[in-house]
Structure 1
Amino acid sequence: MLVLLPPASSIRALAFHRRLRVPLLAPPRTLPRLGAAPARSIMAFSAEPASGEEKAEAEEESLHTTAAAGAGAGDGDGSEVSHEEWRRWGTSSPLPAAVAAVVRELLEMEAAAGEKMRFGGVGSKLKGDFKDMEDKKHRAVYETLGDSDQKLQYFSARQIGCRLLGSRGYLCQKCWLPTEDCMCTNIVPCNLWRGMKFWLYMHPKDFLRQNNTGKLLWQVFGIQAAQLCLFGIQEHEDIMWDAFHRSGKGKISFLYPNKSIIPKSVKDLKFDGSSLTSDLHEMSSSDEPFNFVLLDGTWSNSAALYRRLKERWTAKWGDEDIPCISLSTLSASVMHKLRPQPAWDRTCTAAAAAGLLWELNLLPELSTYEFEKQAEAVECSLDILLDALTTRRVRLGRSITRKQRHNRNI
């Protein structure tokens, strides 16, 4: 039977919840279990995803949205996306110009066609005749773009624009779950040590995905301590690299298992005295934080994220390799129950962040900064997300188990 736990009111209570074993329901016999996802292209972008990539995208999404969410529903009521609406999705930046342009074009096409846009499926994709009309137009625009960077920016803006319109009135703007499954009241906020900052470098195909775990970091720590940076969105990337410039290359680390070089461990990180004098709540404006970058996307898409980071790093500082760190104590995330990773040495974004915090807690010079509490807060939020996704699957009569995909690097 499914055990329903009352909402926890503190980090300590949530930690207790994590120790309880909640048995998973067996899938209904009439519903086949989901199969392993096929290999996906590692291209950063394309005019149209291959059919295999579309299938993998659908299988990797824990909760496939079958009901369409019209652009005229809920917040915005068919109007353009405002700066306020944009920020409520988890970012402190202004609305990117390219995203605003895509949304405007879609709404103009809707008005000219005289019919409402319909969205559905993974990533709030357009459906019906309007999809065919929009597809022809975006292909024509794409062909006119000769520069690969312009194509990437257009691809990213189009992905994000469709997801914004398709999620209006359907997804909660904080937890990215359907409003009837909102988990926000169960999340317990926690302060991140002011001497560090997380950057969520997110692929646009992970933006507003219900089973995305990177969003948990700003739900727990706030949008300033864990800041969203969308791949291919110029304004977002410029904000992140401006912060890197202020901090200096010695205060930047990328959490990514790059096997082409020997990554450093957390023990190799150097924390200077000025940063260590800053407590959890007070920090001099001249003392910039350590920047930890998490690549947030499927494992095939993360390769494109890494290449783009490496190219800009080399252009800025001349180094061929970016400073990657690996974790030595990483264990399987609870999210593996719904979305197994392709290898045991890989895990979800939030679990990687929690692992980093646990290892920082082991450093003697950082032992007073409550990293244990911060790591537990992230792990508890993962449990809450898993419970919300599992409950929704059970209610919809869907399988809550996945075939194992750990077939490499074992």
Structure 2
Amino acid sequence: MSYEMIALLMGSSLMLLLLTGQRVFGAIGFIGAMAALLLWGDGGSEMPFNASISLLNWFPLLTLPLFIYMGYMLSESGIANDLYRMIHVWMGPLHGGLAIGTVVLMVAISAMNGLSVAGMAIGSSIALPEMLKRGYDKRMVTGVIQAGSSLGIMVPPSIVLVLYGMIARQPVSKLWLAGVGPGLLFAAMFIAYIVIRCKINPAMGPALSAEERDIPKKEKYSLLLAGLLPLAIIFSVTGFFMMGLTSLVESSAVGAAAATLAALCKGRLTRKVMDDTLHQTLSVSCMFMWIIMAALCFGAVFDGLGAVHAIKSLFLDEWGLTPWGVLIMMQVSYIIMGMFLDDTAMLVIVAPLYIPLIISLGFNPIWYGVLYTVTCQIAYMTPPFGYNLFLMKAMAPKEVTLADIYSSIVPFVIIMVLGLGLVMAFPQIAMYLPDTYFAK
């Protein structure tokens, strides 16, 4: 059997196992370990073992549980809620102001947590009921929350970019900086869409009533101070890191400590908050670590087979695709897979093939990491099985139907496809910050 056929068999077996509902890390690790044993005998057992050792010896991995802890601490202690209450009061007088504020909230939650699920949970539980109660169009607001929460995998400290950096062997600091420009671009495009839509039809995003706006200035400024606290915590993570005062691992520790101290100073660091935060941190961290270890094993076998060279030969020599044609085909494959899989599973399945191929074609792997995350954002919201669509249905009130959710996302998917085209056509949108910062 040729190496190409073995690689194809591994890929198809992996997809089959995933379709049976097996855990992602179990399916990937099993296929990788079994292929190693069948191909190289007893010596093949060293591959999964070496993968686990290389994982445990990788010092930046400490950032993963610390960032996850920081996000859950801010969420469980209610500090993230304070930010929305501030946005509610200060942005409410504008038509569509709460929807614009929700996009700002989603960006802030992303910068606190790095996971899209956290933004979706907070947006659905806090922002969605408030906007529906005030007469906002239900299709627009569900689309706003889904699109805004997807920014969680792009804005630093993005956990997905950390995983990409680990698997692709690329510096996380560069990936984070590369995600800032596109992340802010998408947020600005979402806000522009809300402003234009509410300008055309003000009934879709009514302003707060005069009674709700008429609150004492002292209370307004008190809310402003409460809302600025989570922003200060965000600065303690990314700001100190960008100024060179802390390393990546130290930044994650500073963020975790700042979130804990903030909860303590506000009198919200209860036993329940700590238990829930630690439980969720441990659960999510262990899941990611298992997936990374399985991905390293699977990737080692693929690399040993020379599958990357076979795929490159297939695309360029036999199919006659240009490098840009190969890149576009990769992005389309992510969108198709994203209808059925989450971002981590997609990354683990195709990273052993796509990342070395991208480098060999002359593309920047940092820039490609941003393209990957943007495409994952689009895939999250693409019917019929987009990840965010079903999360929103599970969290939304009964009056929001699945048809509402599907139709709500159409304009935002169009906006994101346009944004992806801009990042592909103008790589400096992503690369300006890392190129400028690391040139100093």
Scaled to the shorter chain, the TM-score interval is under 0.3
Quick check: which has more Rg, 1 or 2? Answer: 2
Provide the TM-score with structure 2 as the length reference: 0.24
Higher relative contact order (CA 8 A, sep 6+): 2
Hey, which of these two has a bigger chunk of strand by percent?
A: 1
Higher helix share: 2
